[in-house]
Structure 1
Amino acid sequence: MGLGKLFHDHAEHADGGGTIDRPRVYEIFVTIAYLGGRRAAFTRAATLGRARAGDRVLDVGCGTGYLSRVLAPVVTPTGHVTGLDPSPAMVEYARRRAPGNCDYVVGEGQDLPFPDASFDLVVSSLAVHHIPAGARAAAMSEMFRVLRPGGRLLIVEFRPPSGHLARHVIGLFTGPAMLHSPAELLGTLIPDAGFRVESEGGLPSLMYHVRAVRPAEPAL
């Protein structure tokens, strides 16, 4: 049994999805793993989403709300960040730390409880690999649906190390779900959902991003 079972409440299956239900253990693990660089890594990732004052932002798979809290001051009090996660424990943890322009709801990426065109920006960090493989296409379609035309999508996923020893250590702590390459994990999910990909590539701290846009509707 991998040590990832300390905070994963699901079988260690690469495509089975699942939730993290021990937020404090997760926070300790992630803080140690980033060696003090977590804020810088997520700030750089968030910058790629090009959030602006007044934006309505949805954070899919928000976990403990870390990225949401990074984005909150960027959108200013005139904007709003909504975090969504399937784990009630993670949502409760995030709510207790939420700034005034953030709220959190329990839900799944493949069945978003929001109206069409509700958001200017949808972000998802280190969460797609937690969605069951068979539901990932539906999740991308849902993200497309809740974005306004011209709205932006930012997906950040884990980029496993290339060395065998490092991959083995990562697997012990996280299980096989995080050993996919980003290209293998995401495939053509994003363009297949209707998005136009603007940029993609590696980031520091073993992360990988894809930034895309929902094309504006043609003028009548």
Structure 2
Amino acid sequence: MALRGLVRAHGGEHGEAGGTLDHPRAYELVAGLGFLGRRREVFLRLAALAGVRPGARILDVGCGTGYLTRILAPVVDGEGEVVGLDPSEPMIDYARRRAPANCTYVVAGGRDTGLPDASFDVVVSSLAVHHMPVNDRAPAFAEMFRVLRPGGRLLIAEFRPPSNRLTAALTGHMTGPAMRHDPKDLLGTLIPDAGFKVDDEGDLPVLLSYVRAHKPAR
């Protein structure tokens, strides 16, 4: 099953209107295939890039099935906490059933989390921004800025289409319009416009790019 078949669009073309992933088991299968057996390796790299330390509080925006939260949980150990946020109730239910003791999950969209100001040390988001409706993306980054403590870190990872034109066309056909964008075009100036200072950006194996930033200390 193609990834595009798993997405419930919120009116119109998913590339603009956004959508939710509501089939967690199928998503896990497709994600495993899509990362060519290297999914855990790639997400361990993301955890390292996030600079997570024991005792930290982490928010994962668009956590889906909770895959990244389960990788981060042992890093923050029993003193820390990982909170996963996703608008899809089926995905959150799946994550909760597999949650380590220091993980909690909230059904909510990125633009209105309901979480306290400056309550997290790190905010991460992987393969989620392209699912957000275009008009929700700037408010979602403003919300990430609000819940992050001064000096806290942000890590955004997004799909990077293949450089080969034929492979890119095939990938776009499988994944749909939301994942055809270059990450730089998708993110644009959303991160600095929200108040973050960009630290660095780069590529990861198996079609991912990342941006690291921080919230300036007052």
TM over 0.5: yes
Residue 199 of structure 1 aligns with an amino acid whose one-letter code is: D
> What is the Cα-based RMSD across aligned positions, in Å?
1.2
Greater shift, 160-169 or 52-61, is seen at: 160-169
Whole-angstrom distance in 2 between the partners of 1:180 and 1:9 = 19
Residue 117 of structure 2 aligns with an amino acid whose one-letter code is: D
Pick closer, same or farther for the CA change 1:24–1:12 going to 2, 3 Å: farther
- Kept in 2, the 8 Å contact 1:122–1:153? The answer is yes
Residue 49 of structure 2 aligns with an amino acid whose one-letter code is: L
Aligned to 2:136: 135
SS at match of 1:68: helix
Can you give the 5+ residue segments of structure 1 that lack an aligned partner in the other structure? none
SS at match of 2:216: coil
Whole-angstrom distance in 2 between the partners of 1:14 and 1:130 = 8
Aligned to 1:41: 42
Whole-angstrom distance in 2 between the partners of 1:169 and 1:22 = 23
SS at match of 1:15: helix
Quick check: 1:4 aligned with 2:3?
yes
The TM-score, its normalising length taken from structure 2, stands at 0.96
Whole-angstrom distance in 1 between the partners of 2:3 and 2:60 = 23
CA displacement at 1:46 relative to structure 2: 1.4
Deviations 1:60-81 (A, max 9, x none): 0000000001100110110000
Residue 7 of structure 1 aligns with an amino acid whose one-letter code is: L
Whole-angstrom distance in 2 between the partners of 1:182 and 1:141 = 19
Residue 157 of structure 1 aligns with an amino acid whose one-letter code is: E
Residue 71 of structure 1 aligns with an amino acid whose one-letter code is: L
Whole-angstrom distance in 1 between the partners of 2:204 and 2:115 = 30
Aligned to 1:87: 88
Percent identical across equivalent pairs? Answer: 60
Matches for 1:105-184 after TM superposition, within 5 Å? 105-184=106-185
Q: Displaced runs of 4+ in structure 1, greater than 2 A?
A: 2-6
- Kept in 1, the 8 Å contact 2:3–2:30? The answer is no
- Kept in 2, the 8 Å contact 1:64–1:94? The answer is yes
- Kept in 2, the 8 Å contact 1:4–1:172? The answer is no
Whole-angstrom distance in 1 between the partners of 2:20 and 2:128 = 10
CA displacement at 1:26 relative to structure 2: 0.5
Whole-angstrom distance in 2 between the partners of 1:5 and 1:144 = 30
Aligned residue pair count: 216
Deviations 1:123-162 (A, max 9, x none): 0000000111111110000000000001110000011112
Residue 124 of structure 1 aligns with an amino acid whose one-letter code is: S
CA displacement at 1:12 relative to structure 2: 4.0
The TM-score, its normalising length taken from structure 1, stands at 0.95
SS at match of 1:9: strand
Aligned to 1:195: 196
CA displacement at 1:164 relative to structure 2: 2.0
Aligned to 1:73: 74
Whole-angstrom distance in 2 between the partners of 1:54 and 1:149 = 17
CA displacement at 1:13 relative to structure 2: 3.0
Deviations 1:173-193 (A, max 9, x none): 210100100110000100010
Residue 170 of structure 2 aligns with an amino acid whose one-letter code is: V
Residue 40 of structure 1 aligns with an amino acid whose one-letter code is: E
